[in-house]
Structure 1
Amino acid sequence: MSGRNHDRLAPGLNHLAFHAGAPADVQRLVAAAPAHGWTLLFPDRHPHAGGPESHAAYLTDDQGYEVELVAALP
């Protein structure tokens, strides 16, 4: 059973994560995201919202879907 609206805080699939290249590649995608309807989540913790050892961007659209763009670190 599923609800009529997506709720990223409800049980089930929360987001999809993608390997997005180097940190500079992730930053370019973040810069381009608003033009495609995506908003940066956790901007106060970006790009380390996943922890100090990570470099990622968490983006959401107006329907509440979320993607994580993960940078490859050396």
Structure 2
Amino acid sequence: MTGSPSWRAVFKAARQELAPARKLELCLQCRQLIQERMTELAPEFSEGERATLEEALRALWIMEEEIRNPKIN
């Protein structure tokens, strides 16, 4: 593993962040880390991890939409 943060750590930080601009940055960073992880695991994906990654991607999408469209909330 490289020196980059885990997608889980960045996901947790994004969920806790209050500043919209920083939260969006963290969402984008986490999305990239999740996509990299999915690529790494493609040949040996377990259903449990696939479901966890897909759930995190959905949650990130919701956070990003809430930032971009605050009147929807």
Greater relative CO, 1 or 2 (CA 8 Å, sep 6+): 1
Richer in strand (by share): 1
Q: Same fold (TM over 0.5)?
A: no
Richer in helix (by share): 2
